Each structure stands twice: as C-alpha cells, then as structure tokens.
Structure 1
Amino acid sequence: MTQTRPAVRTTAVMFLAVFVGGAAGSLLREGFAAQIPGAPILTATFGINVAACFILGWLYSIRHRVHAHILHLGGVGFCGGLSTFSSFAAELERMAENNLWSAVSAATLEIVFGLAAAIAGEAIGRRIHLRRPPK
C-alpha cells in the first residue's frame, strides 16, 4: 500500500517537529545542567525532569485544541530532549556507589515529584484553557 503525498508530507513535518523540539530541549537541558549542582539526596537533573513533566502535563491538557505537530514539537521533541532518563540513571548509579539509600530516595522523590508536576501541569492547563473558547 502506498502513501499519498499529503501523508508523506505530514510524516516529514512530524519528524521535523520532533527533531527541532528535541534539539531545543536538549540544548536547554545542557545549559541548565552545567549550572545546577546535584544535592546529596537529589540528582542534578531533578529540577529539569520535573519541569519537563509539568510542561508535558500542560500539553496533555490542550491536546484537543492544538495541531498534532505542536504536540510532537513540544511533547515528544522538547520535553523528550529536556528530560533525560539516561542522565538520571547514570546519576543514580553514581549515588548508589556511595550510598544505596540516597539513590533509592532520589529515584523515589524524582518519580513522585515528576508525577505530581505532570498532574499539576494538566490541572492548571485545563483550568486556564477551559476559560478560553477554542479558536
């Protein structure tokens, strides 16, 4: 089965949106990561990952009001580039070498705060955007 030209173009734009968003999120993360030291019980990427969860929650709240390419740009690309599981895992591994319980605590805190941030982002987004009629 062959795709029609509009489907190919749509797929190309989707990939471009993910690429551009991912590049922007990754660059922003690296800029912040150099400035934010880790704490004894938190990873250096804690704030960055929690912020990405908040943004992702907000994007989820407006998913029916924006074009899918905006969600690819912001959610998959930007938030995917901004948050970083690989750095999180590497930081936890380094923490575990010194103190297993600090690594377990850091992982637990980051997961709990990330979920709370996503829920808060979605609730705030829904509250703000319900007041405004869709365009």
Structure 2
Amino acid sequence: MRFLLIVFMGGGLGSIARYLVNKWVGGTLTSVYPYGTFLVNIIGCFLIGFLIFFTQRAGASTIFWRLFLVTGFCGGFTTFSSFTFENVELIGNQQLLLFFVYATGSVVLGLLATYLGILAARNI
C-alpha cells in the first residue's frame, strides 16, 4: 500500500507539471502544432532515461525514488517517456522484431482506437 501512495504522489506532481508546461507553452506560442505536448514528451523522455540510469546505478536502496520519480512523476508527466524507454530497451537487447511490432502496433492501433472511441461517442 505504501508503494501505491508513493506512485500516486509522484503521478499527481507529474500531472500538475504537465499541465503547467502546456499552459506556459500555450500562453507563449500560438499555433496549430501541439508544442506543449511535444515539449512534455521530449522532456519526459530525457527525464526517464536520466532517472532510470541514475536509480539503477544507485542500487536497490532507491526503490522509493524510482517509484516516486520514474513510475509516478514521469508516468503522470507523460506515458510517452515509458513507451520510448521500452523501445530503446528492445533495440538495446537486439529484439528488433518485437521493437517493430510494439512501436508500430502502439502507434497504429492507438490511432485506430482513438478514432473508434470518437465514433462510438458520436453514436451514443
């Protein structure tokens, strides 16, 4: 239960940070391009790479920080960072077919699922 609370707290802070970055970018740049989400995704990718490496190097005693920062904060900030890290791991482990299936399937099926969700909501 303690671990759930740690992830919950980090996720809440990550979600607030995502909102603030999007609000700041939206107030600074006016464009059709989703700069806020783009920036959040890139920052999140950098953070998850840095934090996973850093917490792995520090050892098992950092489980609190890994759950709080990686699973919680980065997960609340952007799940795109988890997606990209998993793909980097697949490439690093030379699991190229699995990488291709996962990356392509996630994007294509994610877009399809979003579109189908819109269609379903329209027909209610």
Identity of aligned residues (%): 28
**8 Å Cα contact 2:25/2:35 also seen in 1:** no
1: CA distance, partners of 2:35 / 2:63: 32
- Structure 1 residues 7-46: aligned runs within 5 Å: 12-37=1-26, 39-46=31-38
Query: 5+ residue gaps in structure 1?
Result: 1-11, 86-110, 120-135
Query: 5+ residue gaps in structure 2?
Result: 89-124
Amino acid at match of 1:69: F
Partner of 2:55, secondary structure, is: coil
Higher relative contact order (CA 8 A, sep 6+): 1
1: CA distance, partners of 2:84 / 2:74: 14
- State the TM-score, normalized to the length of structure 1: 0.49
Match of 2:45 in 1: 53
- Residue 115 (structure 1) shift: 5.2
**8 Å Cα contact 1:13/1:69 also seen in 2:** no
RMSD value, Cα: 2.8
**What do residues 55-114 of structure 1 show as CA deviations (whole Å, max 9, x unaligned)?**
1001111233151121110011100111156xxxxxxxxxxxxxxxxxxxxxxxxx9xx9
Residue among 64, 67, 74 paired with 1:69? 64
The structure whose residues are more often helix, as a share, is: 2
2: CA distance, partners of 1:24 / 1:84: 14
1: CA distance, partners of 2:55 / 2:67: 11
- State the TM-score, normalized to the length of structure 2: 0.53
Using a 3 Å threshold, how does the CA distance of structure 1 residues 44 and 60 change in structure 2: closer, same or farther? Answer: same
- Count of matched residue positions in the alignment of Structure 1 and Structure 2: 79
Larger Cα Rg: Structure 1 or Structure 2?
1
